[in-house]
């Protein structure tokens, strides 16, 4: 158990939480970006590296229907809170505003033995740990489904 100096709780608790959350979101987005590059290479789409993104991969005529279906299922619904959280939100925190402005985190020290950290997304309070875990599982399923299809494509191309 860590004793926090309540006079300095923002520096001791909130700042590290902000930096870790920001790093986590950036890493999740980078994972999605990297898989777009892998699809570009394995499917031999020929998209210039600086132009590879979800849209160019999805719209490319050589992208298989199965890959397009997976991309559509996970990303097409722009109201998807999880997809927007790491795909769109990353742009906002890196290029526009700091994470402290974009995602205010509240810590409740009086909610039992462990402090409860939460932020508000789309007007709803979300437990930080649970939400990040859910977002990571979403990304994991997205990557697994795409890698399964990439593997099939690679096997087909080399058989």
Q: Does residue 100 carry a pLDDT above 80?
A: no
Q: How far apart are alpha carbons 29 and 91 in whole angstroms?
A: 9
Q: Choose the most confident range, by mean pLDDT, from 31-35, 80-84, 123-127.
A: 31-35
Q: How far apart are alpha carbons 130 and 134 in whole angstroms?
A: 6
**0.85 exceeded by pTM:** no
Sheet of 124-127, strands arranged across:
105-108, 116-121, 124-127
pLDDT tens-digit readout, 28-45: 889 999 999 999 999 999
pLDDT of residue 107: 76
pLDDT tens-digit readout, 44-77: 999 999 999 999 999 999 999 999 999 998 887 6
Start-end of H helices in 43-127: 54-59, 65-71, 81-83, 89-91, 99-102
What would you report as the CA-atom Rg of the chain, rounded to the nearest whole angstrom? 19
pLDDT of residue 1: 46
Q: Does residue 138 carry a pLDDT above 70?
A: yes
Task: Quickly state the pLDDT bin for 2 (edges 50, 70, 90).
Answer: low
pLDDT of residue 87: 77
């Amino acid at each position: 158990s860590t004793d926090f100096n309540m006079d300095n709780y923002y520096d001791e608790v909130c700042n590290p939480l902000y930096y870790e959350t920001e790093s986590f979101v950036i890493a999740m987005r980078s994972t999605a970006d990297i898989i777009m590059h892998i699809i570009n290479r394995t499917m031999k789409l020929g998209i210039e590296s600086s132009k590879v993104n979800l849209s160019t991969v999805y719209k490319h005529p050589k992208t298989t229907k199965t890959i397009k279906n997976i991309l559509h299922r996970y990303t097409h619904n722009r109201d998807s809170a999880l997809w927007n959280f790491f795909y769109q939100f990353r742009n906002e925190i890196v290029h526009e505003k700091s994470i402290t402005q974009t995602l205010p985190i509240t810590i409740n020290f009086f909610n039992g033995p462990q402090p409860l950290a939460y932020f508000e997304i789309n007007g709803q309070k979300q437990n930080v740990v649970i939400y990040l875990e859910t977002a990571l599982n979403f990304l994991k399923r997205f990557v697994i489904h795409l890698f399964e299809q990439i593997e099939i494509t690679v096997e087909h191309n080399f058989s």
